[in-house]
Structures are given as structure tokens and as C-alpha cells.
């Protein structure tokens, strides 16, 4: 307590002393300063003019005043100079401070960038180790198109058996497989008319020969042929066994021979003389007697009344409306005297179909002033095709009854009815379906394109037809249109389909589709100047995936299985049974657990299958397909610097295989043009001509299934591209991209309008920034009607609309738009084609023209877009979103 009181007293005294000092010290200082100033003034009196002593300048002389003013000006200038020097030093220090601060920020940004790169490299190393382990564990053979193995000698002689009709009931007993290796490519040899002019008309043989020469399996080497094709036709009455045996490669029994019977006379029938022994040869014709037809061996042909070849898209009428004027039509006459069965058929039609109904029918059981006598017991055709077209295009359904002769399964007249029903969009109704022989029925599912009913159902036929909804009517009509165009429309289609069926029977895959050559625009000696890429500051720093060396997508994995596993789809749906594609967007997927039980090669499940948020997500592709990369295809025309800037932005993009630049300009790139180093090859292709169709050529340099089509002025961030790629991997059969558009009804003039205004529906995704499967590049270039590509060249426009039409037509699905990006053009780029005032007018015309070609508008509306799963989701602080900005 005493110590505490002593402390208080000490502090009080100290405080008092400080106060005294603060009062006295200023007084003392003021005294000495005043004295010093006075002494200084007095001392300076001897050296300065007396004028300086007085403050009243008005009493001074002019000369002294002038001197005083000059002195003050000098002092002022000196002070100003000193102040300027001080300010300059201050500005210099501030500038150095700003520079140092910027360096600090740059170092921090570089640190973050290097940290991100380190994470990417760690992921890349991890993925490389996984790939190395897979290569060590499983030594897979190199996947490639099949190597062709061919025979070297003509067929050996084997005597013909007398009972060929009972023995040759399938390919196993009548076909020589030794001449047709699985990798032979199915070469066929065609007999020229000069080798046996007595069997076929020379004019018809020349047409067929010209058609078959376009078939990729055609060969002039008879010794290496798998099968031999001969045409028999209008001089068929002279055929005998001896003439057949004189064919150079008949081999005694005609094995591996295909005999086509084609005739221009619909009322003729082949000459079935039981003394003629066709041996093991395959007969292909439209007219068949039930006792002569050998299912699984012979071929039932459609009526060959189409043109030799060419495109036939414009022949078909518009597919809408679904329900036409007449619910059902039939026109014909009996070629022989009527029987009780025939009378009952006519009575049943009138009793149960054409009476007591408001529906309209076109039923005509006779012909006016036109009847052709025939030895075929069947319903004859009235008039020519142009007259029959008048009521067919107005008919929803048309009746195709079985031949009146119960011993016949097919006649040429019946096949013509089927042919015309498909051509004019009148859905065929097969009455007595169980005894009708339908063309190519071993590969075609006819009940998807027609109404198949038993003869006993004729009393219920009217009710059945009325119950079919519009969407099923259009589905069947669309399927019939596809069958007509692909298999029936031309003589070439009929012959190619017949050969493809026989090739399919013996398990030989089609020949590989041909890629478009992609020669580099640079010669072998020229080395383009390289530069470091320019990375925009706005590019978000985010780890988006591993940086791996380029690797190809596996090709031709399913050479010998796709026709067996998906043969139904190939013949009746999206496929092409005439060519072998390296991959398709419809290849089947493995179940999820297969990745961990015996089929893990190539798969990269997220966090080894345990899943996870953004950090684990960016390390692996995940999904349902094995790892893969994508190719970017850029179309450019005389915008070099714009192209260079776009290429620079691709530096360090994960999963990028290569960049293809399609150089549409006739002028080559400047030699001093600097090309950026982006970590993957940049392949520049010289286009043959300036065409927007070049965007979709299936270049051989494209070695991945995924293709990102990009305009040279498109501005996409890395995370947007990666997100689009991941979405496409789950929607491989569709167009997946960024700018959405839609087709709108023209309420004033009819037809369709192209629209880019904001809308809650879209039906197109522009391919200026979109992912598509390479399979569609083949279809666009080789399968799409030439008239569409010609229209694209005419307008220099609409190739993106054509691709959307194509994919929606094949899949019956709308495209997929990703992210909220509406406009994607780079700022400040030169004017593009889309800025032309006629651009939108032409796109209106394109949609309506393409609709005429397809027969309907395949574009479908969609009302949603795709964003990443954790977009706008509140997540814990220790978790990371799939994409930070999407």
C-alpha cells in the first residue's frame, strides 16, 4: 500500500514538472529567436541597402524598389525550381512504387499460373502412368480397315446336281465360302453381253454394266472374284442349261453366281422350265412362284422401274398433311375370268370399306378402255404411272393385295404397286401379308413402313385404319420414303442392295468409307515461322484437365460385329449398310460396372470411380465412354491476323488432338506470317475451291470422333470448350454447341423464317461453334443430296442449317445448346459474311428449299440448355465447382 501511494506521488510531481517545462520552454525559445533575428538584421545592415530595413516601400526610391523586386523574383524562381525538383522526385518514387506493385501482382499471378500448370502436369503424369500400365497389361492389336485377301484362280469344276431345287435351300449348301475371305472385300465380276449375247438384250446389259461399275466391290479380275454377276432378261425364252454351263466361270454347278432377271414388260413372267437347271446360282427377280423360290438363297427384287441412278429426292411429294383426301385407294382389274374368291374380295371391299362412312375412298375395280390380257392371274394396273400418281398422292393408305393366283407369292404388277406407294407416300396396306413375298424382306422390317394384316381382317380394315394416329402415319410415311430412296428408287439402288444382302449373308463387312485427302498447303521444304501464343488476360485460370500428347480415336473396332449386332438399325434406321465407317455415334455403351470388372481399358472414371466435386472432376474425363480427344476444324478466308489470334487462344487446351485450318482463299499464307505454338499440330489444308461445304469434308487428317467446328472469328474460352466437349460425349449423335437459333412460321406469307431473336425455344445450333461426330461429315459430303450442297455454294451461306437438317433427320432429335453464351464473335474482327444484309434473306430461302428436298422439316424444337451440375449450387468451402464460371 505504501508502495502504491509513493508511486502516485511520484507521478504527480513528474506531471507538474512537465507542465512547467511546456510553459517556460516556449518563452525562452521566443526570446532567443527574437534576439537572433534582430542581431542578424543589424549585421546585414552593413551589406544590404537601407531599403531592405524598412517595410514601408512607398518611401523608397525607385532604384531601390526595383532592386528589391528583382531580388524577390529571383527568390521565387529558386523556390519554384526547388519545388519542381521535389515533385519530380516524388513522381519518380510513385512511379517506381507502382512498377514494384505491378511486379508484385505479376509475380502473384505467375505463381497462381505456375501452380495451376503444376496441377495440370501432375494430372497429366498420373494419366500417363495409367495409360502406360494399360499398355503393359494388355497388348491390343492395331485397329485398322481389314487387309484384303483374294483368291488367285478361277472356280474349280464341280458337276451339277440334278436335284438342285431341293438341295439349294440356303447359302451353306450352295455357296463356296473359300473364294470369299472375311477380308476379301467381296469383289464381284460382271459378265459382259458379248460373252453370251443370246441370254440378255445388249442395251439393258450396257445400262446395268454402267451402274455396277460405280459399286465399290466391282472388279475386272475374274480370277480374284468372290461372286459372278450375270444379267438375264428379255430374251429369256432361249435360256437352257447348256448355255448356262458355257459361262466361263460357271464352275459346273453355278456356285457363287447371281443371275438377275430384269424385264421392261410387267405382264411377262420368267420362263420356269423344269428342264433348266440353275444349279447353285442365286436367282434375283420380281416374279416368284412359291414352289420355285428358295428363301435364304434366292432374292425377291422390287420392280426395276426407276431411273438407272442419280438422286431422286425431288420425286417424292411433300409428307404433310398426315391425313390426305382419301383414307384408302385401290385401282385395278382382274387379268383373268372372275372366280368366286375374286367376287368375294370385291364384295367385301364394297361392304366393309366404302359404305356407311364419312371417310372418302378411291376404289376402282375396273379400267376404262384399257385392259391388257396376261397369262398372270393377278390384279392388273390401270393407266401409266402419271395417271396413278393423281390419286396416290391424295391417298393416306393404298391397298396392296396378294396375287390372285394362290401359287404366286410375287408378281411384277404387285411390286410396282409397292414401288409407287413408297414413291408417292401412300402407306401400303398388305392384305394377306402372310402369303405376300416382299422385296428384300430378310433385311427390311416392312411392318414399320406399312400396315400388315391377314386377309381375314378385311372386315375390320376400315376401323383399323381410322385408329392410327397422325404421328404413326408420318412415321410410316417417313420410313417408306427412306426405303424408297435407299433401296428401291433406282436400278443402281436395287442392284447395290441385292449385292449387299448377299455380302451380309456370308458375313463380309462393307468396304471402308473413303476419307477426303488433306494435303498441307505448305510444301515439304517450307517451315512456317513460329511464335509464342498470346494468352488473353481475361482467360480464366482453371485446371480443366490433363495435357496429353495427341492420340487417335480407335477405328474399325467393329468390322465383323456391327452388321450382326446392329444390322437391324443399319438397314432400317440410321445406318448405311453399303459402307464401313471407322466409328459411328450409335456404338453401344458398356454398363457402368464393366469399367471395374474386366473392361477398364481406356476408361477414366472420376476419382477412380468414387466420384467427387470440381478438383477430382478436372482430373479425369469420366462419363460412359473411354478417354478421347477432339479435333478443331477452322474455316478461314483472307483474315490472317484474326486466325492467328484465334489459334493463339487454343494454347494449352486439354484433350485437343490437333487443329485443322481449311484455307479457303486461293492465295497461300504469307511466308512471314507467324504461326503460334499451341502445344498440338496445326495442319493447314489448301481447299480446292472457296466453299462453305469444305467445313464438313471428312478429311483424313481428322483422327478423332469428336470434331469442333469453329469460325475463325469465334471467341470461346477454354472452360466453355471443355464443357461443350464433355456434354457432347454424352450426346454423341447430336449437334452440341453454343449459339442457338430457331425456325419460325411466316404468318404473313407462309413457309419458314430463320430467326436469331431471343426465344425460349431453339431448333438449331450454329456450327460456327459446335461439336459434331465425324460420321456426320461423311453423310454430309457423300449422302446428302447434291442439290443442298449446290445451294450452299450458290448463296455462300446455310451450311450450318443443312447440317442441323441432316442430324435431326437421322436422329429425330433436336440439337443441344450449352451455357448461356448468346453471342460468341470476337470484338473488333473484320466484317464476316453474316454481316451482309442479304444474309438473313438467304437463310429464310434455305430453310424452305431444304424442306422441299427432305419432303418435310426435320428440325425439332427444344426448350432447355445445358449447364454444369454444380452451377449456382452452394457448396462447402473445401469443395470446388465442376466449372468455376459455367
Three cell numbers, residue 818? 450449352
The predicted pLDDT at position 455 comes to 86
The predicted pLDDT at position 515 comes to 95
- The residues pairing with 663 across neighbouring beta strands, listed in sequence order, are 636, 686
Check pLDDT > 60 for residue 831: no
Percentage of the chain lying above the pLDDT 90 cut: 46
User: What is the 3-state composition of the chain as percent helix, strand, coil, each rounded to the nearest 5?
Assistant: 40, 15, 45
Q: How many other C-beta atoms can be found within 10 angstroms of the C-beta atom of residue 817? A: 26
Give the contacts of 445 (CB within 8 A, at least 6 positions apart). Answer: 568, 571, 572
Task: Please state, in angstroms and rounded to a whole number, the distance separating the CA atoms of residues 513 and 723.
Answer: 31
Active site residue 800: yes
Task: Please state, in angstroms and rounded to a whole number, the distance separating the CA atoms of residues 758 and 22.
Answer: 79
The predicted pLDDT at position 277 comes to 78
- Report for 109-113, 235-239, 391-395, 715-719: range of highest mean pLDDT: 391-395
Query: What pLDDT, in 10s, does the model give residues 526-583?
Result: 888 888 776 655 556 678 888 888 999 999 988 889 988 999 899 999 889 999 999 9
Q: What distances in angstroms separate CA 46 from CA 42, 50, 372, one per listed residue? A: 8, 9, 152
3-state secondary structure of 546: coil
Check pLDDT > 90 for residue 797: yes
Mean pLDDT score, 477-498: 94
Percentage of the chain lying above the pLDDT 70 cut: 82
Mean pLDDT score, 750-774: 93
Q: Cβ(328)–Cβ(399) under 8 Å?
A: yes
Task: Please state, in angstroms and rounded to a whole number, the distance separating the CA atoms of residues 265 and 243.
Answer: 23
Q: Which among 422, 680, 689 has a CA at the least distance from the CA of 551?
A: 680
SS3 of 122-163: HHHHHHHHHHHHHHHHCCCCCCCCCCCCCCCCCCCCCCCCCC
140 vs 434, higher pLDDT = 434
The predicted pLDDT at position 425 comes to 95
pLDDT bucket at 291, cuts 50 / 70 / 90: confident
66 vs 627, higher pLDDT = 627
Q: How many other C-beta atoms can be found within 10 angstroms of the C-beta atom of residue 793? A: 15
Check pLDDT > 50 for residue 753: yes
Three cell numbers, residue 64? 531601390
Q: What distances in angstroms separate CA 596 from CA 155, 191, 224, one per listed residue? A: 51, 55, 46
Q: What distances in angstroms separate CA 732 from CA 507, 665, 700, 728, 736, one per listed residue? A: 28, 32, 20, 5, 8
The predicted pLDDT at position 156 comes to 73
Check pLDDT > 60 for residue 237: no
Q: What is the pTM of this model?
A: 0.84
The predicted pLDDT at position 801 comes to 97
To 5 degrees, how large is the angle CA 865–CA 869–CA 875? 140
pLDDT averaged over every residue in the chain: 84
- C-alpha dihedral, 652 to 653 to 656 to 658, nearest 10°: -50
Task: Please state, in angstroms and rounded to a whole number, the distance separating the CA atoms of residues 24 and 6.
Answer: 27
695 vs 344, higher pLDDT = 695
370 vs 470, higher pLDDT = 470
The secondary element (H helix, E strand) that includes residue 415 is helix 412-424
Q: How many residues does the chain have?
A: 886
Mean pLDDT score, 824-837: 55
Q: Cβ(886)–Cβ(867) under 8 Å?
A: yes
Q: Cβ(487)–Cβ(423) under 8 Å?
A: no
Task: Please state, in angstroms and rounded to a whole number, the distance separating the CA atoms of residues 556 and 581.
Answer: 7
Task: Please state, in angstroms and rounded to a whole number, the distance separating the CA atoms of residues 243 and 333.
Answer: 38
- The residues pairing with 283 across neighbouring beta strands, listed in sequence order, are 259
628 vs 117, higher pLDDT = 628
Strands 740-745 and 764-765: antiparallel
pLDDT bucket at 644, cuts 50 / 70 / 90: very high
Check pLDDT > 80 for residue 322: yes
Task: Please state, in angstroms and rounded to a whole number, the distance separating the CA atoms of residues 695 and 701.
Answer: 13
Task: Please state, in angstroms and rounded to a whole number, the distance separating the CA atoms of residues 798 and 844.
Answer: 9
- 864 alpha carbon, distance to own chain's centre: 20
Check pLDDT > 90 for residue 693: yes
Comparing 265-269, 418-422, 603-607, the range with the smallest average pLDDT is 265-269
Q: Cβ(198)–Cβ(234) under 8 Å?
A: no
Three cell numbers, residue 620? 479425369
Q: Which among 619, 807, 632, 816 has a CA at the least distance from the CA of 728?
A: 816
Three cell numbers, residue 245? 454351263
Mean pLDDT score, 299-318: 82
Check pLDDT > 50 for residue 805: yes
Mean pLDDT score, 349-378: 74
The predicted pLDDT at position 45 comes to 41
Three cell numbers, residue 544? 480443366
Q: Out of 378, 576, 719, 800, which one is annotated catalytic?
A: 800
pLDDT bucket at 4, cuts 50 / 70 / 90: very low
Mean pLDDT score, 123-139: 73
Backbone angles phi, psi at 173, to 5 degrees: -90, -15
Task: Please state, in angstroms and rounded to a whole number, the distance separating the CA atoms of residues 606 and 603.
Answer: 10
The predicted pLDDT at position 850 comes to 96
Task: Output the DSSP codes for 100-113.
Answer: HHHHHHHHHHHHHH
pLDDT bucket at 201, cuts 50 / 70 / 90: low
Give the contacts of 420 (CB within 8 A, at least 6 positions apart). Answer: 385, 388, 389, 392, 426
Superfamily name with CATH number, domain 313-489: Glycogen Phosphorylase B; (3.40.50.2000)
Check pLDDT > 60 for residue 344: yes
pLDDT bucket at 510, cuts 50 / 70 / 90: very high
pLDDT bucket at 477, cuts 50 / 70 / 90: very high
For residue 321, is the peptide bond before it cis, meaning its omega torsion is within 30 degrees of 0? Answer: yes
Task: Please state, in angstroms and rounded to a whole number, the distance separating the CA atoms of residues 69 and 57.
Answer: 11
The predicted pLDDT at position 6 comes to 52
Alpha helix locations (H) across 712-824? 718-730, 774-778, 786-795, 799-811
- Report for 57-71, 163-177, 651-665: range of highest mean pLDDT: 651-665
3-state secondary structure of 632: strand
Check pLDDT > 50 for residue 280: yes
**What is the spatial order of strands in the sheet that 227-232 belongs to?**
188-190, 227-232, 257-261, 282-285, 299-300
Domain boundaries, the chain: 2-38, 164-300, 313-489
Give the contacts of 836 (CB within 8 A, at least 6 positions apart). Answer: none
Q: What letter would DSSP give residue 782? A: I
- Report for 22-26, 65-69, 456-460, 778-782: range of highest mean pLDDT: 778-782
Amino acid at each position: 500500500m505504501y508502495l502504491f501511494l509513493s508511486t502516485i506521488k511520484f507521478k504527480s510531481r513528474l506531471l507538474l514538472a512537465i507542465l512547467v517545462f511546456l510553459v517556460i520552454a516556449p518563452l525562452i525559445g521566443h526570446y532567443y529567436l527574437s534576439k537572433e533575428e534582430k542581431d542578424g538584421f543589424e549585421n546585414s545592415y552593413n551589406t544590404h541597402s537601407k531599403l531592405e530595413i524598412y517595410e514601408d516601400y512607398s518611401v523608397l526610391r525607385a532604384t531601390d524598389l526595383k532592386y528589391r523586386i528583382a531580388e524577390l523574383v529571383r527568390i521565387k524562381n529558386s523556390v519554384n525550381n526547388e519545388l519542381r525538383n521535389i515533385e519530380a522526385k516524388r513522381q519518380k518514387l510513385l512511379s517506381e512504387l507502382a512498377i514494384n506493385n505491378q511486379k508484385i501482382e505479376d509475380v502473384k499471378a505467375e505463381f497462381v499460373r505456375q501452380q495451376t500448370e503444376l496441377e495440370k502436369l501432375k494430372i497429366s503424369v498420373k494419366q500417363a502412368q495409367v495409360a502406360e500400365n494399360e499398355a503393359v497389361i494388355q497388348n491390343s492389336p492395331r485397329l485398322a480397315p481389314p487387309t484384303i485377301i483374294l483368291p488367285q484362280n478361277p472356280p474349280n469344276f464341280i458337276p451339277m446336281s440334278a436335284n438342285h431345287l431341293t438341295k439349294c435351300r440356303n447359302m451353306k449348301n450352295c455357296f463356296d465360302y473359300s473364294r470369299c475371305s472375311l477380308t476379301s472385300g467381296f469383289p464381284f465380276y460382271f459378265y459382259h453381253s458379248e460373252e453370251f449375247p443370246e441370254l440378255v438384250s445388249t442395251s439393258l446389259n450396257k445400262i446395268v454394266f454402267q451402274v455396277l461399275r460405280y459399286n465399290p466391290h466391282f472388279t475386272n479380275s475374274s480370277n480374284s472374284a468372290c461372286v459372278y454377276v450375270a444379267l438375264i432378261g428379255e430374251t429369256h425364252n432361249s435360256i437352257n442349261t447348256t448355255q448356262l454351263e458355257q459361262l466361263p466361270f460357271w464352275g459346273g454347278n453355278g456356285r457363287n453366281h447371281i443371275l438377275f432377271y430384269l424385264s421392261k414388260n410387267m405382264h411377262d413372267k420368267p420362263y420356269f422350265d423344269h428342264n433348266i437347271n440353275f444349279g447353285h446360282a442365286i436367282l434375283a427377280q420380281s416374279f416368284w412362284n412359291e414352289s420355285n423360290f428358295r428363301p435364304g438363297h434366292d432374292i425377291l427384287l422390287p420392280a426395276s422401274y426407276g431411273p438407272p441412278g442419280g438422286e431422286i429426292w425431288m420425286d417424292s411429294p411433300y409428307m404433310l398433311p398426315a391425313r390426305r383426301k382419301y383414307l384408302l385407294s385401290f385401282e385395278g382389274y382382274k387379268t383373268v375370268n372372275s372366280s368366286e374368291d375374286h367376287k368375294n374380295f370385291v364384295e367385301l371391299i364394297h361392304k366393309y370399306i366404302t359404305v356407311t362412312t364419312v371417310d372418302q375412298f378411291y376404289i376402282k375395280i375396273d379400267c376404262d378402255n384399257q385392259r391388257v390380257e396376261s397369262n398372270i392371274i393377278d390384279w392388273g394396273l390401270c393407266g401409266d404411272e402419271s395417271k396413278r400418281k393423281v390419286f396416290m398422292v391424295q391417298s393416306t393408305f393404298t391397298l396392296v393385295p396378294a396375287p390372285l393366283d394362290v401359287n404366286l407369292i410375287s408378281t411384277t404388277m404387285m411390286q410396282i404397286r409397292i414401288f409407287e406407294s413408297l414413291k408417292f407416300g401412300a402407306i401400303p396396306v398388305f392384305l394377306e401379308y402372310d402369303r405376300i413375298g416382299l422385296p428384300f424382306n430378310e433385311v427390311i422390317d416392312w411392318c414399320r413402313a406399312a400396315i400388315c394384316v391377314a386377309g381375314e381382317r378385311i372386315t375390320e380394315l376400315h376401323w383399323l385404319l381410322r385408329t392410327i394416329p397422325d404421328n404413326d402415319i408420318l412415321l410410316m410415311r417417313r420410313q417408306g420414303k427412306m426405303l424408297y430412296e435407299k433401296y428401291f428408287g433406282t436400278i443402281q439402288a436395287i442392284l447395290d442392295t441385292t449385292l449387299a444382302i448377299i455380302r451380309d449373308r456370308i458375313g463380309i463387312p462393307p468396304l471402308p468409307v473413303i476419307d477426303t485427302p488433306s494435303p498441307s498447303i505448305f510444301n515439304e521444304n517450307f517451315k512456317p515461322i513460329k511464335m509464342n501464343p498470346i494468352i488473353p488476360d481475361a482467360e480464366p485460370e482453371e485446371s480443366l484437365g490433363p495435357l496429353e500428347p495427341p492420340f487417335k480415336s480407335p477405328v474399325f473396332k467393329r468390322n465383323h460385329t456391327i452388321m450382326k449386332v446392329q444390322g437391324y438399325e443399319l438397314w432400317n434406321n440410321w445406318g448405311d449398310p453399303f459402307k464401313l465407317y471407322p466409328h459411328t455415334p450409335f456404338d453401344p455403351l458398356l454398363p457402368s460396372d464393366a469399367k471395374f470388372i474386366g473392361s477398364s481399358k481406356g476408361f477414366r472414371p472420376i476419382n477412380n470411380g468414387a466420384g467427387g466435386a470440381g478438383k477430382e472432376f478436372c482430373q479425369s474425363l469420366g462419363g460412359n465412354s473411354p478417354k478421347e480427344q477432339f479435333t478443331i476444324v477452322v474455316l478461314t478466308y483472307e483474315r490472317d491476323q484474326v486466325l492467328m489470334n484465334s489459334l493463339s487462344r487454343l494454347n494449352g487446351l486439354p484433350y485437343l488432338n490437333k487443329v485443322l485450318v481449311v484455307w479457303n482463299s486461293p492465295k497461300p499464307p504469307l511466308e512471314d506470317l507467324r504461326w503460334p505454338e499451341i502445344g498440338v499440330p496445326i495442319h493447314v489444308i489448301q481447299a480446292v475451291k472457296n466453299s462453305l461445304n469444305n467445313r464438313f469434308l471428312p478429311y483424313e487428317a481428322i483422327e478423332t470422333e469428336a470434331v469442333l467446328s469453329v469460325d475463325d472469328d469465334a471467341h470461346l474460352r477454354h472452360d466453355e470448350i471443355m464443357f461443350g466437349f464433355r456434354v457432347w460425349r454424352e450426346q454423341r449423335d447430336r449437334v452440341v454447341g453454343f449459339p442457338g437459333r430457331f425456325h419460325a412460321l411466316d404468318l404473313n406469307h407462309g413457309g419458314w423464317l430463320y430467326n436469331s431473336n431471343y426465344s425460349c425455344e431453339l431448333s438449331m445450333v450454329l456450327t460456327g461453334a459446335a461439336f459434331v461426330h465425324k460420321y456426320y461429315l461423311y453423310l454430309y459430303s457423300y449422302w446428302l443430296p447434291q442439290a443442298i450442297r449446290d445451294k450452299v455454294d450458290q448463296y455462300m451461306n446455310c451450311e450450318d442449317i443443312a447440317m442441323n437438317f441432316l442430324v435431326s433427320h437421322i436422329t429425330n432429335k433436336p440439337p443441344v445448346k450449352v451455357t448461356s453464351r448468346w453471342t460468341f464473335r470476337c470484338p473488333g474482327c473484320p466484317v464476316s459474311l453474316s454481316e451482309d444484309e442479304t444474309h438473313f434473306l438467304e437463310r429464310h430461302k434455305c430453310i424452305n428449299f431444304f424442306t422441299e428436298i427432305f419432303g418435310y422439316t426435320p428440325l425439332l424444337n427444344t426448350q432447355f440448355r445445358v449447364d454444369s451440375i454444380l452451377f449456382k449450387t452452394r457448396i462447402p468451402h473445401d469443395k470446388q465447382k465442376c466449372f468455376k464460371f459455367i
